[in-house]
Structure 1
Amino acid sequence: ARIVALSLKGKSSKETKIGLTMRQPNLGRVEWIEAEKKKRTKKGKKEKK
């Protein structure tokens, strides 16, 4: 897991929130990986213009 958000409110540990994600690059179904690669190449082409 990777920490994506941290909220430290108050002095009590009960009020603390930690956001985690299990999503990591290049993990999952092959279709998902290919879709992510296509998104990245489209973004790269737009930035170069």
Structure 2
Amino acid sequence: MDDILHGTLTSSPVFTKAVDLDSVPEGYEAMDEREAIKTLVTLDE
């Protein structure tokens, strides 16, 4: 996880969609409709 957070490793091959915490239902819908393989939930600090 540290490598991803510091930018030395990209998560793009794993996550095909990113959503914020309020959009989690949209992420699940995209996976259900096969528009996304894995959805990354981002948290704004």
Q: Same fold by TM (over 0.5)?
A: no
User: Which structure carries more relative contact order (alpha carbon 8 Å, separation 6+)?
Assistant: 2
TM-score, normalisation: structure 1: 0.32
The TM-score, its normalising length taken from structure 2, stands at 0.34
Higher strand share: 1
Bigger radius of gyration, 1 or 2?
1
More helix by share: 1
